[in-house]
Structure 1
Amino acid sequence: MDNRNKCAACYRQFNKMEHLVEHMRTSYHSAHEPTCGICRKHCRSFESLREHLIGPLPKVECERIFKEQGCDLCLTIFSSRNALHVHREACQFSRGNNMGLTNRMANLGIQDDLKMDSSRARVVALACKMVGGGSDGSLDLCARVCLIDESEKIIFHTYVKPRLPVTKYRYETTGMRPEFLRDAMPLRQVQRKIQDYLCNGEPIWQIRSRAGKARILVGHGLDHDLKSLEVEYPQMMRRDTADYPPLMKSSKLSNSLKYLTKTYLGYDIQTGIQDPYEDCVATMRLYMRMRSQRHKVEDYPLAQDPQNRNNFAAFRQSELERMAPEKMLEISRSDYYCWCLDSSS
């Protein structure tokens, strides 16, 4: 088989050059994909990269080096065991790390004065806890919500009085009792405060750019949380750990926040009565870890950018078939917005 027909990113081999060209059209390989630090193979997600390094059928040489010099949390390869040891102390979070007094404040209850006037946070994380409504208690009703900033400080934390009657308090996971919601802030008031804070003075219909005043919103399953709060917010300003491609399963299904926290941050959450503050911290840490990745800087990093739309157009088929696989990789771009781009915006 002609080695010229081998993808320069994922190393998949093709019988014909035209098949490689078609693969490059649809794969959207880019500098933003998780990449093996040893053989430089591109993977579609960190789950795929993990399987490549330490899965049931890993690449033997990569597995050997990774076991000696690789971090099993961020999957980075280091030059020595000592460098790995130093790194691991910073990479390994603990459930209580940076969460002591603030977490106790969160568990004690409520900060519903919304310190929004004084907060200059550019990125905030949101999490809700639900009780049950409807005849069988299966309808999710938001009964508690928390907002934190990039430093994991609480901006807003309150119980929420749902519009509909609560038929199941789900005490085993929420710790919620009827008296907690009796004098809670009404949903409409919570919705208005959070919406105003996220928009940060910009009318929601005018939010068209990540460079404006509106805040970046981080969470896990944000569609569900925002729906329960009856809050609208533009998709371009959301960073959802449940549907971010590098954090999804190889089958493109979502991983749970509990799994992501254990696998990529190194500690357990949601082990008893669940606190939305804890979920906020986990999603913010995952976001910051993904944002801090150092990827090649490109003027137009997305496949949908006008400058990239014709890179693999059909009328260039003959030219593409004469192109080296490495050159095709150079003109290929990502089909998702990498969070590392937030660092430069």
Structure 2
Amino acid sequence: MESSDTLRNKCAACYRQFNKMEHLVEHMRISYHSVHEPTCGICGKHCRSFESMREHLIGPLPKAECERVFKERGCDICLTILGSRNALRVHRETCQLSRGNAGLLHRMGNLGIYDEIKVDNNRAKVVALACKMVGGGSDGSLDLCARVCLIDEYENIIFQTYVKPHLPVTNFRYETTGVRPEFLRDAMPVRQVSRKIQDFLCNGEAIWKIRSRGGRARILVGHGLDHDLKCLDMEYPPILIRDTAKYPPLMKTSKLSNSLKYITKAYLGYDIQTGIQDPYDDCVATIRLYMRMRSQFHKWENYPLATDPQNRNNFAQWRQSELERMSPEELLEISRSDYSCWCLDSRDPSA
């Protein structure tokens, strides 16, 4: 049985135990525990990512009671705990998506290209971007954008075209890209493609004026967007970028990203990037991952980020004595996230 001293020095979020209260305070100062962390629906433990929560539930060294309950009533895709096995069966029918759900528009879209932004998508506030790269340079290792796709949150194609790189292509990587030399011969130049996409994303706002989510500019979703934007020679404000390769709950660790292929299988339940890869499939996967993360219900906080001015003194050194007198639950109550949870987008009326 745990002593009262041990319980007092036990983190109310991740359940780590400390010998002294000052050590727990320092842990809370640097851990950034918050209501936005993935949380076990059985024991309430906070985890830094869904990967760590998956390990907590199903191995390799899971918590025994949580593992038992999860095997009976847990969804292995979204990691939710349901009330009964029947509820789990009904839930899983909607939780597990399929690559074929995109429907007729995708199949029609692949018959040709949309080399003009579709005007009926001008109201889209969230869009996903994906590119496919061919190789340039003497050894073919330099990534050059050869296909690009842009879709809205309803998986409608906004823009899809082949792209003519600004450098000669030395490796078409046909086995994965499906790109042949004749497809790029009369394709739209990369600078023209970039200009069209950037104009659409900015939606009438000057890019240097975009400072928040409250304007007309659109949220951009993708996987490894730094690389895609670099290959398109584009810039876009980080505040409007939602990258599934950099979103902490979807990462392996704080420094390593999961592949889009892996997180699509793990958190949507279907396979992508088999054989010749279509950028539309990548767009659909990232927009679905974004919508799933955005739809999580978390406790509302007026100032949810540790960087918000209102929170800057929550764990200030000059408050050390006061903090050491608080209970673990009180420390958790004042702790805030060090990343912007995508659930906050659902509370932004402009998103």
Q: TM-score, normalised by structure 1?
A: 0.98
Matches within 5 A, 1:271-310: 271-310=274-313
Report deviation, 1:117: 6.2
Confirm or deny: 8 A CA contact 2:136 2:169 kept in the other structure.
yes
Residues in 2 aligned to 1:262 and 1:168: alpha-carbon distance in whole angstroms: 29
Q: How many residues align?
A: 344
Question: Given the alignment of the two structures, is residue 110 of structure 1 paired with residue 92 of structure 2, yes or no?
Answer: no
Residues in 1 aligned to 2:253 and 2:116: alpha-carbon distance in whole angstroms: 42
Residues in 2 aligned to 1:210 and 1:62: alpha-carbon distance in whole angstroms: 39
Confirm or deny: 8 A CA contact 1:34 1:49 kept in the other structure.
yes
Residue 98 (structure 2) aligns with: 94
Report deviation, 1:325: 0.4
Question: Given the alignment of the two structures, is residue 15 of structure 1 paired with residue 19 of structure 2, yes or no?
Answer: yes
Confirm or deny: 8 A CA contact 1:107 1:275 kept in the other structure.
no
Residues in 1 aligned to 2:112 and 2:176: alpha-carbon distance in whole angstroms: 16
Confirm or deny: 8 A CA contact 2:248 2:254 kept in the other structure.
no
Residue 75 (structure 1) aligns with: 79
Residue 32 (structure 2) aligns with: 28
- 1:176-213 CA distances to partner (integer Å, 9 max, x unpaired)? 10000001011111011001000000000000011111
Residue 52 (structure 1) aligns with: 56
Residues in 1 aligned to 2:68 and 2:343: alpha-carbon distance in whole angstroms: 29
Q: Which amino acid aligns with 1:142?
A: C
Matches within 5 A, 1:165-244: 165-244=168-247
Report deviation, 1:251: 5.3
Residue 64 (structure 1) aligns with: 68
Confirm or deny: 8 A CA contact 1:128 1:146 kept in the other structure.
yes
Report deviation, 1:215: 0.1
SS where residue 157 of structure 1 aligns? strand
2:252 to 242, 249, 254: 249
- 1:115-144 CA distances to partner (integer Å, 9 max, x unpaired)? 146521000000000000001100000000
1:146 to 149, 153, 159: 149
Report deviation, 1:327: 0.2
- 1:263-283 CA distances to partner (integer Å, 9 max, x unpaired)? 000000001100000000000
Residues in 2 aligned to 1:133 and 1:166: alpha-carbon distance in whole angstroms: 5
- 1:245-267 CA distances to partner (integer Å, 9 max, x unpaired)? 00001353000000000000000
Structure 2 unaligned residues grouped into runs of 5+:
none
2:163 to 138, 160, 165: 160
Residue 126 (structure 2) aligns with: 123
Confirm or deny: 8 A CA contact 2:121 2:152 kept in the other structure.
no
- 1:108-167 CA distances to partner (integer Å, 9 max, x unpaired)? 231112114652100000000000000110000000000000000000000000000111
Question: Given the alignment of the two structures, is residue 330 of structure 1 paired with residue 333 of structure 2, yes or no?
Answer: yes
